[in-house]
Structure 1
Amino acid sequence: MSGPFARAASAAAEVAGRHADSVDRDARFPAEAFAALKDGRLLGAMVPRDFGGEGASLTDMAAVAHALAQQCPSSGLIFAMHQIQVACLVRHGQGSAWHRDLMARLAAEQLLLASATTEAGIGGDVRSSACSVEGDGDGDGDGFRLEKQATVISYGAEADAILVTARRKPDSPASDQVIVPVLKDQLRLEEIGNWDTLGMRGTRSIGYHLRAEGVRAQIMPLPYADISAQTMLPVTHILWSSAWLGIASDAVARAGAFVRAEARKRPGTQPPGARRLAEVTARLQTMRGMVRGAIAQFEEASDSPDRLTSMGFAVAMNTLKMSAAEMVVRIVEQSMLVAGLSAYRNDSPYSLGRHLRDAHSAPLMISNDRVLGNTANLLLAHKDNGSLFG
């Protein structure tokens, strides 16, 4: 991460850390952290310079998500989810005047983007939609209507725009989907249920009855299936994993601080948790290498739709998600064993209670079982070539 981004990320992470307990306790949106991210121009950093952004890379944004999650996992995950939508817009919207204007607004106003991909009645399958884009006429200036029972829209009430998936037309198959970015003043949100969860409480991932109206120029030109395969799926797994790595990194850092404090009490004697610390540090290094490798793999293939849509690439990204989601839980649990009761207490500087609760969301966000099933289907046709760098 380059100097300006690093400084802005560090400042925002410090703010996020100061308010993390309040965000978790009250299950509220981390407003202070996102005010700092806006001040640092990090929300629109990936927008190309031609449209007023900073032209930041996915590597830069992964590093920001990682830094935030070390202090406040909810802030890190929200930032990751926002940047997933930014990546879709930047990579697939530059050929459209409406989406170029949205990118310029994103950079100038530091808009916060959310997504509405899940829907009641489709069993968690984001590659199917029950709702559709409705309205007369097919011209860019013709109006549309859209109504969706979204089971989850994370931080929906705070978002300045929401990227909504829907069937292209009322008579389209469920899999013929498009993405429609809808601005805050174009939509109405009616809450469905509440948000009182074990962890990741600041994400405010509430269900909503969404109603929106706009013009057809807002519909992204490329089908959702292509956007998902080329950008949304890999970027989601990479940025989520970067945030989970942040949780794991801070857990190991706290465990290490505990062991060093114990060592100072008994100079010349290895503390009981030192060996466990070495073990969990090795696991953290493995997770870090895995995330870095996935980022490099994506950036190497980023200009090749054929590589991005290959079965081998999908298997690699699915494997990243499953492995990182399992590793963050294991690393936090091992770190807790290092620090013992001090990690178990909520009033300790080595406390890992929130880390543990937040980490357990990872295997549930796009269920690991679902990802495993999708990967199994891919492997029926795909055979790994056995190459070290393949």
Structure 2
Amino acid sequence: MTIQDLYGNGGTARADGAAVPGEPALRALVVAGIAAAAAEAVDRDARFPAEALAAARAQRLLGLLVPVELGGEGLGLGGVADVTYALGRACASTAMIFAMHQTKVACLVDHGRGQPWHDALLRRLCAEQLLLASSTTEGQGGGNVRSSAAAIEPDGAHVTLERAASVISYGAQADGVVTTARRGPDAASSDQVLAVFLKEDYALERLSGWETLGMRGTCSAGFRLRARGLPEQVLPVPYQTIHAETMTPVSHILWSSAWAGIAAGAVERAQGFTRQAARQAGGQMPPGAAHYGRAAASLKTLRALVAAALDRYRAASAEPRALASLDFQTAITMLKVETSELAVASVTSAMRACGLAGYRQDGAFSVGRALRDILSAPIMIHNDRIVANLAATSLMATVPGSLRD
């Protein structure tokens, strides 16, 4: 089963699971077309995909996950995964920005809803189509998102935060930043909270640039973030809970959907090249046809993994204990490792199927940009770090005694 098979005919699902017409999917195709037209320039100039995000705002895609009563569309995660996949086929940077934004929105919906300040923010986000950036890495900690150096500091009726962020993707272009921090000056590095600051609440001082091999349009520069806001801008739920119940599963599912979209775009080019070469050779398959078969098979497995993760998350969401269980956390964490590596394999095979035409930077069958973009997948929150952490955690688990345990 594929992601789109979950909903049929390009449709999506609301939070209650009821099928609805595919309007968000159709709007996503409009945005994808605009993103695709600008993708080459975005990559070449390492610039923010402004055209695509303007289109996403115009098509009201930034509030898809927000409940209807707060001005959103109440779309389920499967529908948002479909949109992310469509954007990934068009422009990797646009898809990753969309995925990161939606992950922050999911955290606010799941853990801030019912709080007056956060409800008001969600309403404003939908009305103004605000774009939220994420700041979860800092200093020498790199991708260790479960450790913070900077702390929320009391300042009279306000709170402040100053942190040196290793990266804040599209930080300069966002309307707000959702950031981790230590709960207070005396808190341990793992005693974290999640706070939201809007553009009027903070200043950014650029610390590093973003001259990278791929994903160049995410503009993931490093910044010193200096923020001041109200205490209620800090979510009341400990970040440990947010991380397990929402941040990890939603980010891994949506990142994987973006990578699947990138792979699909490359496989589509490999298919076109293989068909053209076979026609020109009187029906004889070209030498790279076997690589096309591998690319298509890898993509099929990748999409099935995302679909299975969506099912697993939907089933576990009804019970917080299930979300926090070792089995679920292991599976959803390994999703990132498995899909990132499958996506790289799929795009690499697509390039080999196209041969020189895929290796070239120009032409209808070029796969170079997709390959450069997808190579980021195993190293953003490095797979080696994830596997090492899981190995340590798994030492506490019992090895199953049967297939059904």
> What SS does the aligned partner of 1:100 have?
helix
1:58 equivalent in structure 2 = 77
Is the CA contact 1:150–1:207 (under 8 Å) kept in the aligned structure 2?
yes
- Which residue, 189, 193, 206 being the options, matches 1:174? 189
**What is the aligned residue count?**
386
- Which residue, 323, 339, 346 being the options, matches 1:331? 346
CA distance in 2, matches of 1:389, 1:236: 28
2:207 equivalent in structure 1 = 192
Shift of 1:123: 4.7
- Which residue, 267, 270, 276 being the options, matches 1:261? 276
Tell me: CA distance 1:253–1:389, structure 2 relative to 1, closer, same or farther (3 Å).
Answer: farther
Q: Are residue 112 (structure 1) and residue 131 (structure 2) matched?
A: yes
Q: Are residue 240 (structure 1) and residue 259 (structure 2) matched?
A: no
1:315 equivalent in structure 2 = 330
1:103 equivalent in structure 2 = 122
1:27 equivalent in structure 2 = 46
Residues 82-136 of structure 1, C-alpha deviations (whole Å, 9 max, x = no match): 0000100011111211000011111111110111111114353211111111115
Tell me: CA distance 1:230–1:273, structure 2 relative to 1, closer, same or farther (3 Å).
Answer: same
Q: Are residue 37 (structure 1) and residue 28 (structure 2) matched?
A: no
Residues 130-163 of structure 1, C-alpha deviations (whole Å, 9 max, x = no match): 11111156xxxx2111111111100001111101
Is the CA contact 1:156–1:206 (under 8 Å) kept in the aligned structure 2?
yes
Mind listing any 5+ residue stretches in structure 2 that lack a counterpart? Answer: 1-10, 13-21
1:1-390 alignment, distance < 5 Å: 1-2=11-12, 3-136=22-155, 142-383=157-398, 385=400
Is the CA contact 2:104–2:134 (under 8 Å) kept in the aligned structure 1?
yes
Shift of 1:272: 2.4
CA distance in 2, matches of 1:101, 1:73: 31
Is the CA contact 1:46–1:86 (under 8 Å) kept in the aligned structure 2?
yes
CA distance in 2, matches of 1:387, 1:56: 38
CA distance in 2, matches of 1:279, 1:364: 23
- What is the TM-score of this pair, normalised by structure 2? 0.93
CA distance in 2, matches of 1:289, 1:124: 27
CA distance in 1, matches of 2:217, 2:169: 9
Is the CA contact 1:164–1:180 (under 8 Å) kept in the aligned structure 2?
yes
2:3 equivalent in structure 1 = none
Tell me: CA distance 1:201–1:208, structure 2 relative to 1, closer, same or farther (3 Å).
Answer: same
Tell me: CA distance 1:77–1:128, structure 2 relative to 1, closer, same or farther (3 Å).
Answer: same
2:19 equivalent in structure 1 = none
CA distance in 1, matches of 2:334, 2:152: 34
CA distance in 1, matches of 2:353, 2:154: 60
Paired AA for residue 71 in structure 1: A
CA distance in 1, matches of 2:353, 2:59: 36
Tell me: CA distance 1:34–1:388, structure 2 relative to 1, closer, same or farther (3 Å).
Answer: farther
Is the CA contact 2:167–2:221 (under 8 Å) kept in the aligned structure 1?
yes
CA distance in 2, matches of 1:18, 1:95: 41
CA distance in 2, matches of 1:72, 1:145: 36
> What SS does the aligned partner of 1:47 have?
coil
- What is the TM-score of this pair, normalised by structure 1? 0.96
Is the CA contact 1:312–1:382 (under 8 Å) kept in the aligned structure 2?
no
> What SS does the aligned partner of 1:172 have?
coil
CA distance in 2, matches of 1:136, 1:206: 28
CA distance in 2, matches of 1:83, 1:69: 14
Paired AA for residue 321 in structure 1: K
Greater mean alpha carbon deviation, residues 292-301 or residues 376-385: 376-385
CA distance in 2, matches of 1:123, 1:204: 17
Residues 217-255 of structure 1, C-alpha deviations (whole Å, 9 max, x = no match): 111010011000100011111111110001111111100
Mind listing any 5+ residue stretches in structure 1 that lack a counterpart? Answer: none
Identity over the aligned pairs, expressed in percent? 50
CA distance in 1, matches of 2:92, 2:282: 35
